[in-house]
Structure 1
Amino acid sequence: MEPHNILRLLFISLYVLISNGSSKSDLTPTAFPGPQPVSSHKQPTSGGLPPAPSLGPQVGPSSSITLPPTTSDAPSEAPISPNAHAPSPYARPSSDINPQVKKICDSTDFPDLCLKTVIPLLREKSNLESVLEITIKVGDELAKRALSLAKKLAHKPGTPPRLSSILKDCKDSYDMAVENYTKTINALSMKDIGTMETMLSAVITDLGDCQDGFEEEEGDSPFANFADKLTNITSNCLALVSLMK
């Protein structure tokens, strides 16, 4: 082989070796990354930050918190008493209720109402006169509250004339009811059974006079609850008075 051919082949071989070495180094990465952790959250497809991890139940404007239910042995209706802080008779077991008081209340038209009215205010004495006195005074207190409401409504500006007239009649009726309760209390101190029966019967009439005005106009009476409770309490008073004969 001629020298120039040998030289030519040598250059070709050297070129191939150099080219193969460069390609191999370019294809080989300098460092492999370690294992990549798998995320539990999907990455957003439209850019932006990934969602924050949940930290438990979230309370927002539209969510609500449900409190655990409470239990109570007391009735839904609060005890009738002029003392707002007086305990309910139903807060104590029935075995703790004075049997003498229960016997007295069982003689009334509304025994449960009698117990609810009397027991929160009953102190040492538990005889008939004590039960009657408390029942009368509770009725008197409720009548005074109704009278206060009647005065406020009767003088409310902008009240239609017909309604204003009815409210003024109710104010007069409850004013008379309070006066008749006061006379009943005074008669009790003298054991004047006749006067007590007359005054208590007049109270029931006074309550009816107020309610009649609203019934004639086919309207709702703002005194309906007062009238119902007072009528029942007064009926109990009359029953208790009859036991004194």
Structure 2
Amino acid sequence: MSQFLHALTLVFVFLASTNIQITATTPPSYSRNHNMFVKTACNSTTYPDKCYKSLSSYSSTIKSDPIKLCTTALKLNVNSAKEAASVISKLLKKSQISAAGRKNKMSPEKPLILRDCLEEMKDTVVELKQAITEMKTLRDGDSVSEHITNVRTWVSAALTDEGTCTDGFEEIKVSKETKKKVTKVVEELATTTSNTLALITNLSY
């Protein structure tokens, strides 16, 4: 009998340790729910995979809060806009140095179009920050729909500025390398902004 109890105890210990391992490696249900909330919201955007990839790591902070979701997306959007501005700023400085070295042999159009594009990126940063500020007023209770409209307006303006930048490169001839670098970074930013706008458009609060 004692041997049977000893064997039974060993089995119980084994099962208990196995259960602990499973529990430790399986995420809590609320964590899965938060991830699902982000994934479902991203499915309504233009680029759902990109949306989920950028926001999923923040799901524990976002939880199931639509305002936190949109605010997080906006903050990441600001970072993307700053990165785009940095890339274009470096290209502008390089272009200005090159133009100065060639003196009057080079057309000033290249530095000019880069300068205009950089201004568009700076405007984008400002507009997205304004949208974040507007988001903070949504919990105040009054005129919620009006504040949401204002947020959409700021993000829409940012998206327009990004398009204006790349449109300029279609009108003025620049080097293929410069055009490729600017187009890549701005189009990447535009996909992020498009997703942010979609999340805000679908915001229900």
Which TM bucket (shorter chain)? Answer: 0.5 to 0.7
Q: Does 1:132 align with 2:91?
A: no
What value does the CA root-mean-square deviation take over the aligned residues? Answer: 2.1
Which of residues 107, 112, 134 in structure 1 aligns to 2:44? 107
Paired residues for 1:89-238 under 5 Å: 98-126=35-63, 127-156=65-94, 157-159=97-99, 160=106, 161-191=108-138, 192-219=147-174, 220=176, 221=179, 222-238=181-197
Partner amino acid, structure 1, of 2:119 = D
Partner of 2:9: none
Which of residues 196, 202, 205 in structure 2 aligns to 1:243? 202
Which secondary structure state, in structure 2, belongs to the residue aligned with residue 120 of structure 1? helix
- In 1, Cα distance between the equivalents of 2:187 and 2:91? 19
Aligned length: 152
- CA drift at 1:104: 1.2
How high is the TM-score relative to the length of structure 2? 0.67
- CA drift at 1:114: 1.0
**In percent, how many aligned pairs have the same letter?**
30
- In 2, Cα distance between the equivalents of 1:205 and 1:125? 28
- In 2, Cα distance between the equivalents of 1:148 and 1:168? 12
* Deviation readout 1:180-207 (Å, 9 max, x if unpaired): 1110111111122121111111111111
Structure number with the higher helix fraction is 2
Partner amino acid, structure 2, of 1:216 = E
- In 1, Cα distance between the equivalents of 2:182 and 2:46? 22
- CA drift at 1:99: 1.6
Query: Mind listing any 5+ residue stretches in structure 1 that lack a counterpart?
Result: 1-91
Query: Mind listing any 5+ residue stretches in structure 2 that lack a counterpart?
Result: 1-26, 100-105, 139-146
Mark the CA change 1:211 to 1:125 in structure 2 (over 3 Å): closer, same or farther: closer
Partner amino acid, structure 2, of 1:198 = T
Retained in 2: the 8 A contact 1:139–1:234? Answer: yes
- In 1, Cα distance between the equivalents of 2:53 and 2:185? 16
* Deviation readout 1:83-137 (Å, 9 max, x if unpaired): xxxxxxxxx9xx9572222111112222111101101233333222222112111
Partner amino acid, structure 2, of 1:149 = V
Retained in 2: the 8 A contact 1:122–1:134? Answer: no
- In 2, Cα distance between the equivalents of 1:175 and 1:206? 9
Which secondary structure state, in structure 2, belongs to the residue aligned with residue 155 of structure 1? helix
- CA drift at 1:218: 4.5
Mark the CA change 1:173 to 1:112 in structure 2 (over 3 Å): closer, same or farther: same
Retained in 2: the 8 A contact 1:143–1:226? Answer: no
